[in-house]
Amino acid sequence: MQNHQIPRLWFDRNFAMSALNDCTVDCDCDCACPAPTFWASRPVLVDDRIYQQAAFQAQAVGDGLFGLMGADCYYVVANQSVLDFLDDFKNPLSAVSVVNTYQNSWGKDRVATLFQDLTCLGYLRPLEKASNENYPARQLTAWIQVTDRCNLHCQYCYIQKRNQNLDVSVGKEIIDSLLRSARAHGIERLKLKYAGGEPLLNFPTLRAVHQYALQESDRQGILVEGIVLSNGTKISTTVLQQLQALNLHLMISLDTLAQSADVRGASYQAQRAIELAIQNNLIPTVSVTISQATLKTLPFLMEWLVDRNIRISLNFYRPHAAMHQPDELTLIPNELIDAMLAAYNVIALHQPRQSWLNGLLDRVNLTGARNVPCGVGQDYLVFDTDGNASKCHMLMSEKVTNCRVPDVLAIVQSDKLGIQNPPVIQKTDCKDCRWSMWCGGCCPTLARGTGGKSPFCSVYQALFPRLIELEATRLVGQEIY
Ligand code: SF4
Ligand code: SF4
């Protein structure tokens, strides 16, 4: 059906395209986000091939506009004319014939651009690619435990503290094993998460290992990117300069604002580290673990963070695997929803540059569909200080193999004894959920023993529509297209 209103499409072109090439678009939380998948990564030509509409859903977001999302489609805001245009492709059509049909109303260039954008973003596909495909992993993410030591005692921490550091020689073996597996699996890039404990307590080793990773990956033609997950206590100007020299990203944990000027307090030190990093142009991501104990202070923390325009990663407290009873940190869903909405209101007032689609709702990633909640058992490896490999950083004691085997990734992928990460469509509770492709179901460690949906399911369901609406407001308000 032809609609004479000019088609309008808003999407974060930089973000969408960088998702193809830049692994910093994942949330940089402590988990392993599966890399976003878009089937088209090249400019699309208007050609004689037959195209078909991909499955997607449209949510009204006000002013006659719709937020569109689909499996392996990137989020866009569109007007009715775009929906009508897509509608024409319900039955397979050649691109040329559609351009011919619409060119008198909209002009040939506009129709061609619309067709190309919708194809690159996944909403139109050549007939032979119209079904969902299995995508080979393009990125391998590794957690490298730089030390088991920590100078803080966060109540929710799941790491077994002990006086044990990573040696440079073991670190190099870990890097070699990652590069071997990357080559064996045709993976183009590595993302290294240097973690602990507090990894900066063993900073000389971290630097030496990352230097080696840069040198070897360059020699072997594999891209590498690293991030340090820190509590901020050891951040100084010198440390920041050394991180920058190695092109390392920085994530600092901050869960609530300092209540007093106690310079030894964890929050005080994290805030100081964030300010210092900003002054030194190493803009950190801030990871916020939300627990029942910090719900009330969340909006104040958001205010402080958005004032500094830094990237935020909001994560929900997950009880330890061994815990059978809720503790005082265990989140109460209804109260969590209220606190999240209050936090979103604060962020919305500041018109963030950060997309609302990723990083602002725990494990959920609305930037692109995926069929699992995380990369466990697929493209994620966790190494302890001895070079043992496990599937998840919350289960580091469950060793699957080590960095000395020929292909550590193959062993982790084929392991049937440890936690499993089945596709969401195999989960009875989740398979019919309209959000399943963006939620992925429950964190496999959390779901262990139940296999059911996430304990945060009601929270996710309540907040998805709000995020979609807010991202629409951001894109349209900031004229991002
Ligand atoms: S049912 Fe809940 S946990 Fe499962 S996919 Fe949907 S939102 Fe996620
Ligand atoms: S299993 Fe859970 S904790 Fe482990 S990487 Fe996946 S989402 Fe994160």
Distance 378 CA to ligand 1 centre (A): 20
pTM: 0.87
Nearest CA to ligand 1 atom 5: 436
pLDDT at residue 21, as a whole number:
40
Distance 130 CA to ligand 1 centre (A): 25
For residue 457, give the ligand 1 atom closest to its CA: 2
For residue 461, give the ligand 1 atom closest to its CA: 7
Task: Give the residue among 310, 285, 180, 277 at the shortest CA–CA distance from 227.
Answer: 285
The amino acid at residue 36 is P
Distance 80 CA to ligand 2 centre (A): 39
From the CB of 365, is ligand 1 less than 6 Å away?
no
Name the band, by pLDDT with cuts 50, 70 and 90, for residue 379: very high
The amino acid at residue 120 is C
Distance 364 CA to ligand 1 centre (A): 10
From the CB of 291, is ligand 1 less than 6 Å away?
no
Distance 87 CA to ligand 2 centre (A): 38
Residue 417, pLDDT above cutoff 50? yes
Mutate to test the pocket of ligand 1, among 374, 426, 454 (most ligand atoms within 8 A of CB): 454
Top mean-pLDDT range of 292-301, 430-439, 442-451: 292-301
Residue 36, pLDDT above cutoff 50? no
Task: Give the residue among 349, 378, 422, 316 at the shortest CA–CA distance from 37.
Answer: 378
> What tens digit of pLDDT does each residue of 37-66 get?
443 444 556 667 788 888 889 999 998 999
Rounded to an integer, the average pLDDT of 215-233 is 96
pLDDT at residue 30, as a whole number:
56
Instruction: Answer yes or no: same fold for 9-30+38-133 and 139-372+459-469.
Output: no
Ligand 2 neighbours (beta carbon < 6 A): 31-32, 363, 373-374, 376, 392, 394, 443-445
Q: What are phi and psi of 402, to 5 degrees?
A: -145, 175
Closest ligand to 460 CA?
Answer: 1
Please give the class, per CATH, of domain 139-372+459-469. alpha beta
Distance 30 CA to ligand 2 centre (A): 9
Distance 210 CA to ligand 1 centre (A): 37
The domain limits of the chain are 9-30+38-133, 139-372+459-469
Closest ligand to 395 CA?
Answer: 2
* 3.30.70, 3.90.930, 3.10.129, 3.40.50: CATH of 9-30+38-133: 3.90.930
For residue 454, give the ligand 1 atom closest to its CA: 3
Task: Give the residue among 398, 376, 377, 378 at the shortest CA–CA distance from 388.
Answer: 398
For residue 380, give the ligand 2 atom closest to its CA: 5
From the CB of 347, is ligand 1 less than 6 Å away?
no
Alpha-carbon distance 417 to 398, whole Å? 10
Name the band, by pLDDT with cuts 50, 70 and 90, for residue 187: very high
Top mean-pLDDT range of 2-6, 150-154, 407-411: 407-411
The two most distant CA atoms of the chain are separated, in Å, by: 73
Nearest CA to ligand 1 atom 4: 430
Alpha-carbon distance 187 to 225, whole Å? 14
Q: Which single residue is written with the structure tokens 């030194």?
A: 280
For residue 419, give the ligand 2 atom closest to its CA: 1
Higher per-residue pLDDT: 164 or 351: 164
The amino acid at residue 124 is L
